[in-house]
Every structure is written in C-alpha cells, then in structure tokens.
Amino acid sequence: MPEPIFDYEARLAACGRGERQALRDLYVQESPRLLGVAKRLVRDTALAEDIVHDAFLKIWAGAAGFDPTRGSARGWMYSVTRHLALNFIRDNSREIQGDTDVQNDAETFDADVHSSRIHRCLEQLEPSRRICILHAYVDGYSHAQISHKLGTPLGTVKAWIKRSLTALRECMG
C-alpha cells in the first residue's frame, strides 16, 4: 500500500489558524531531517536543536502569512531552518576558529540513492565543481573554507561556483 501523502500545506494553514496539533504533526514528520540539515551546518547537536527550536517558532509565527504561490510548505520549512543555521555560522564566523575543523571525508555525499532532478544536473558538473556546490549547500562552507579544503585557489573556487550555479539553472530551468 502506498504511504498516504502528508499534506504540508494543510498542516501549515492549520498552524496559521492556531491549531497546535498541526505544528506537532509537522514536527513529527520533519524534525529528524531538519535536525540533520541543521547539524550538518552548525556541527553541534545542541546548537542544531536550538536552530530547529527557533525554526519551529518561526514556522508557527509565520504560518498565517505563508504564501503558497511562492513555493511548497515543506520547502519553506527547510529554507527557514537552513537560513537560521547559515546566519548563525556566518555571524559567528566559524572561519576564524574553523579552518581546521573542516570535517574529514567520512561524511561523504551519498548521491547514488538520490534520483531527484538536482542530483541528475549535479552529475553533469565536473566532480571538483560538484563538490564545491555540495560543501557550500550541505556543509555551509564559505568560499575560503572550500578553497582550503580542496587546496584550490580562492578565485578559482569562486569562479567554479558561479559557473556551476549558472549550469544548474540551465539544467533545471
């Protein structure tokens, strides 16, 4: 039997009407994945939980004003969480303490299991450029951190990312 489809839009609209159970449903449905995304960015479980806490408050407070024409409710939940985490790591400039804690490759990008369009478009990029995009989006690395990690000059990294983004836009529409 196919898994019943979880209706994010309906839950979010219910949050907008002040229905607590809908927030709980969204939490049960997405919090492990959101926590995973936040933790990969901030590198600390307690901090990542703080981010997810703030994200759910933002989701609750912003639910009534959510505009479904701008994108999916699920996508919005990820955007809220990611940007909170990105603001945190940029504001706290992980770079200063951070070049050394750029993680080792144990946590790789297991793209084989992913069939969505973005992954197919990524595969069309050269591996070194693909890795730049993934380190930026998934790990929250700055240009300088990617340059350090790959041993590639900063200017090259910036140019690769810029061109890769253009290629992705063309591939994905």
Partner 1 sequence: MTTRPVDETPDERDELASEYVLGTLSAERRTEVQQRLNDDAELRTAVDAWERRLLGLTDLAEPENPSHLLWQRIERSVNALNRQPVTPTAERSSWWNLLPLWRGLAGAGLAATLLLGALLLTQATVKPTYMVVLVAPQDKAPGWVIQASNRREIQLIPLGVAEVPADKALEFWTKAEGWQGPVSLGLVKPGQTLSVPLDKLPPLEPNQLFELTLENPSGSPIGKPTGPIQFIGRAVKVI
172 part of the interface to partner 1, by CB under 8 A: yes
91 part of the interface to partner 1, by CB under 8 A: yes
Q: For the CA atoms of 143, 39, 92, 140, what is the dihedral angle to 10 degrees?
A: 10
Q: Cβ closer to partner 1: 2 or 91?
A: 91
Hey, how many other C-beta atoms are within 10 angstroms of the C-beta on 19? 14
163 part of the interface to partner 1, by CB under 8 A: no
> How many residues at the interface with partner 1, by CB under 8 A?
59
Question: Which position among 9, 33, 44, 153 is part of the footprint of partner 1 (CB under 8 A)?
Answer: 33
Q: Which window, 1-9, 82-90, 98-106, 148-156, contacts partner 1 (CB under 8 A)?
A: 82-90
**Taking CB under 8 A as the criterion, which residues in 114-153 touch partner 1?**
114, 116-119, 133-134, 136-138, 140, 142-143
